Amino acid sequence: MQSAVNLWPLLGVAVIVAGFLLRLHPVLVVLAACLATGVAVWMPPLELLAALGGAFVKTRNLPLILLLPLAAIGLLERFGLREHAQAAIGRVRSATAGRLLIVYLAIREGAAAVGLTSIGGHPTMVRPLMAPMAEGAAERQAEARGASLSDPARQRVRAMTAATDNVGLFFGEDIFVAFGAIVLMQTILRGEGIEVDPLHMALWGIPTAICAFIIHAWRLRRLDVYLARA
């Protein structure tokens, strides 16, 4: 016999939807949703408060994890990290924006392939370091021709720097055998009766990663051609 499914616990989802539609404070909305769900399942008040307190204790260090790196990066930028990065790359005569980003692409993709996905990222590497260095190389190229780097060219260099980080991370982490997507695909296939070795799946990501590197490296070489013409 089929048993009836209790849908009252979904009341918390309705509270979240209504709260966000009304643009209420997110913390209050989440708290109200937790209380509504607890009441819907007849959870004792003391047990409900204990669950909320336990969840708070488990996540209280999350703001520090997010805010401390941002504060450190902001402090470094305040004391001239971007300017020093541009000046350092400007002294390398053979450096161009495309060549610099190709090296970063290789490092980013190789590090992600062994599970080091935290090496890089837009807020920690692209904005404070790689983008200024690429801009510095592009400015040196422009100064060598007796011109200045235009704003559209500067924005394109920044966009390609961010794209390089995305491509390196996305295709590099597919090679890592413990990557979450590989585990998810193995679980889905196993549910369908298909047994696949995670290592085998990761090895099939290598040709794709190589192709992604070649294609994006070609795009970065085209960036140098664009900067030379601009």
4 pLDDT above the threshold of 60: no
pLDDT tens for 62-76 read: 555 555 666 666 666
pTM, rounded to two decimals: 0.65
Please state, for a pLDDT cut of 90, what percent of the chain lies above it. Answer: 22
Q: How confident is residue 101, by pLDDT bands cut at 50, 70 and 90?
A: very high
Greatest mean pLDDT among 38-42, 49-53, 72-76, 160-164 lies in: 160-164
Greatest mean pLDDT among 3-12, 52-61, 72-81, 210-219 lies in: 210-219
pLDDT tens for 102-141 read: 999 999 999 988 888 888 888 888 888 888 888 888 888 8
198 pLDDT above the threshold of 70: yes
Inter-residue contact 80 to 129 (CB < 8 Å): no
Phi/psi of residue 6, nearest 5 degrees: -80, 115
209 pLDDT above the threshold of 80: yes
2 pLDDT above the threshold of 60: no
Q: How much is the pLDDT for 214?
A: 96
Mean pLDDT of 206-225: 94
Q: How much is the pLDDT for 156?
A: 94
55 pLDDT above the threshold of 90: no
Q: Show the CA angle centred on residue 168, arms to residues 227 and 143, nearest 5°.
A: 20
Q: How confident is residue 1, by pLDDT bands cut at 50, 70 and 90?
A: very low
Q: How much is the pLDDT for 67?
A: 59
Q: How much is the pLDDT for 163?
A: 95
Q: Higher model confidence: residue 168 or residue 123?
A: 168
